[in-house]
């Protein structure tokens, strides 16, 4: 509700506005004759005190709803078994038999092939002691040696090459007479032999051979 003090202030303000409007209208009609006398108003400003707000009623407390009773589900009906039903006992199932597992034999590694034998090195000189087939030499007794009665045995070391040719004939044991030794060497160098062989290949061989000079032959 509005207080009487507030209404009085509002009425005074309305009166002031009406008087001002009337004065303005007279000035417009007769601006020279009209004389506006100043009017003094004394107004007392009274602070407005807001009316106390009535306390609002507290909201009603909500009452919790009572819990609804739980309805238990009806018990299940027992199933009726047919009268003629025959209950069979389940026979025990025999466990599957496992086949015997044979042991896995580890593969035996194949031994590496033996290395091929290295070829025999070529001999650095003629090979001693090989059996060599040669023609019988034609020995010529020196005429001068017969005249003077020279006789004896000469032993030579012969070297036969891979073609079967006597490449050298050196005196190992002399007869004591140079003519007889030379006659033996000449006869040996004229010999023809088969190529000396060893392990299927021709090699150079060395052998010793005696030459006899006898005046009675």
pLDDT at residue number 43 = 43
What does R_g of the chain's alpha carbons equal in angstroms? 81
Record: fold of 127-213: TolA/TonB C-terminal domain (3.30.2420)
pLDDT at residue number 114 = 75
pLDDT at residue number 39 = 46
pLDDT at residue number 212 = 95
Non-local (6+) Cβ contacts of 23 within 8 A are 36
CA distance 202 to 162: 5
Q: Taking the domains of the chain in order of start, what are their residue ranges?
A: 1-49, 127-213
CA distance 53 to 98: 98
DSSP H/E element including 13? helix 4-29
- In terms of Cα–Cα distance, which of 51, 60, 53, 41 is closest to 6? 51
Q: List per-block mean pLDDT (blocks of 10 residues) for the chain, which spans 217 residues.
A: 67 72 60 48 46 61 64 68 53 64 64 70 77 90 94 95 94 96 96 93 94 91
HSE on the CB side for 130, CA within 13 Å? Answer: 25
pLDDT at residue number 46 = 46
Residues 93-128 as b or e (16 or more Cβ within 10 Å = b): eeeeeeeeeeeeeeeeeeeeeeeeeeeeeeeeebee
Please tell me whether residue 22 adopts helix, strand or coil conformation: helix
């Amino acid at each position: 509700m509005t207080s009487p003090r507030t209404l009085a202030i509002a009425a005074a303000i309305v009166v002031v506005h009406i008087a001002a409007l009337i004065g303005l209208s007279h000035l417009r009609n007769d601006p020279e004759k009209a004389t506006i006398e100043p009017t003094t108003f004394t107004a007392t400003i009274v602070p407005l005190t807001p009316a106390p707000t009535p306390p609002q009623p507290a909201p009603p407390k909500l009452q919790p709803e009572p819990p609804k009773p739980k309805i238990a589900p009806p018990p299940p009906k027992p199933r009726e078994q047919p009268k003629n039903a025959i209950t069979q006992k389940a026979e025990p199932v025999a466990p599957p038999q496992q086949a015997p597992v044979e042991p896995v034999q580890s593969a035996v590694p194949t031994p590496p092939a033996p290395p091929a034998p290295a070829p025999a090195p070529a001999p650095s000189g003629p090979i001693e002691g090989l059996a060599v087939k040669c023609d019988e030499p034609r020995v010529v007794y020196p005429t001068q040696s017969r005249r003077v009665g020279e006789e004896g045995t000469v032993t030579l070391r012969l070297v036969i090459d891979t073609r079967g040719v006597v490449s050298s004939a050196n005196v190992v044991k002399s007869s004591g007479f140079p003519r007889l030794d030379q006659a033996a060497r000449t006869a040996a160098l004229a010999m023809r032999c088969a190529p000396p062989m060893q392990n299927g290949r021709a090699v150079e061989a060395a052998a010793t051979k005696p030459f006899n000079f006898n005046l009675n032959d």
